[in-house]
Amino acid sequence: MFARTLLTALASFTLLLPAAAAQSPSVERAAIVATYPHDPDAFTQGLFIHGGLLYESTGQIGRSSLRRVELDTGDVQQQADIEPPYFGEGSVRFGDRIFMLSWVSETGFIFDADTFERIGTFSYPGEGWGLTHDGSRLVLSDGSARLRYLDPDTLEQTGTLDVTLNGRPVRRLNELEWVDGEIWANVWQSTMIVRIDPGTGSVTGLIDLEDIVPDNLEGSRDAVANGIAWDAATGRIYVTGKLWPVLHEIRISTEVR
């Protein structure tokens, strides 16, 4: 059953495995290390950790926000709301600023990372989905197989990265996280995380979150896995989803094939 579900998920976003399986990236499961409370009304679009605190951006018109959250309790310590007509999307901290995207409004927001005061906006063409950084550039996803690089000072696009698995484009790249030299991305409408080589765009591995999706949300179109946070200080990895009541610390477990 697991193998059939996995192959169905892969096929749904054009990750069809070639006959030469030995040349394909590994597919691994995620195992739960610890579980924490998460706001079940949060339509999670972005997730990251800084200084031991969780930061989250949420979506839906009239309910979008940027939040600072106590990891252990799930309590929201600070929140900046995003007004209509904006639909909040991914976010990332770079230096003393937090950048946050909106979905179809071609508008991003800049916040003071300490006070959450909105200190600016920026524009970009097309949609905004996920956001992370590689230490020098912001990395933006827009639901396609192409990631964009932005200069964090000018917010101008400086390059792109085409993401492929065995030469085929991996579309619907959503929430992004820089994890120890790799770009990790949730793939929308699936339980998969793809691990991307930032030098080539090639997918080097896949992580299936199927085993850790809350039972009452399995098969939901809206409450999908979305949200990856890597704590560089501890090496811990956290994941959640839209409207999930929990956030999990995970480790990469058994290789499926």
Residue 180, burial from CB neighbour count under 10 angstroms (0-12, 13-18, 19+): exposed
Distance of alpha carbon 80 from its chain centroid, rounded? 20
pLDDT of residue 19 exceeding 90, the answer is: no
pLDDT computed for residue 253 by the predictor: 78
Sign of CA dihedral 237, 53, 69, 43: negative
More confident: 250 or 19? 250
pLDDT computed for residue 215 by the predictor: 81
pLDDT tens for residues 53-87?
A: 999 999 999 999 999 999 999 999 999 999 999 99
Round to whole Å and give the CA distance between 53 and 45: 17
Of the chain, the percentage scoring pLDDT greater than 90 comes to 79
Q: Per DSSP, what are the bridge partners of residue 248?
A: 35, 239
pLDDT computed for residue 256 by the predictor: 58
Q: pLDDT tier at 200 (50, 70, 90 boundaries)?
A: very high
Residue of 236, 253, 217 whose CA lies nearest to 34: 236
> How large is the average pLDDT for residues 129-139?
97
By the 8 A CB rule, do 247 and 74 touch? yes
pLDDT tens for residues 204-253?
A: 999 999 888 888 776 677 778 899 999 999 999 999 999 999 999 999 87
Across the chain, mean pLDDT equals 89
Round to whole Å and give the CA distance between 66 and 82: 8
Residue of 197, 182, 172 whose CA lies nearest to 228: 182
Residue of 35, 13, 40, 1 whose CA lies nearest to 190: 13
Tell me the fold of 2-9+25-255. Answer: Neuraminidase (2.120.10)
Structure-token pair, residue 119 = 């200190």
Round to whole Å and give the CA distance between 242 and 221: 10
- Long-range (24+ apart) CB contacts under 8 A made by 8-11 are 9/190, 9/191, 9/192, 9/208, 9/210, 10/192, 10/206
How much is the CA Rg of the chain, to the nearest whole Å? Answer: 17
Q: pLDDT tier at 49 (50, 70, 90 boundaries)?
A: very high
pLDDT computed for residue 231 by the predictor: 96
pLDDT of residue 22 exceeding 60, the answer is: no
pLDDT of residue 14 exceeding 90, the answer is: no
pLDDT computed for residue 67 by the predictor: 97
Round to whole Å and give the CA distance between 132 and 73: 25
pLDDT tens for residues 158-193?
A: 999 999 999 999 999 999 999 999 999 999 989 999
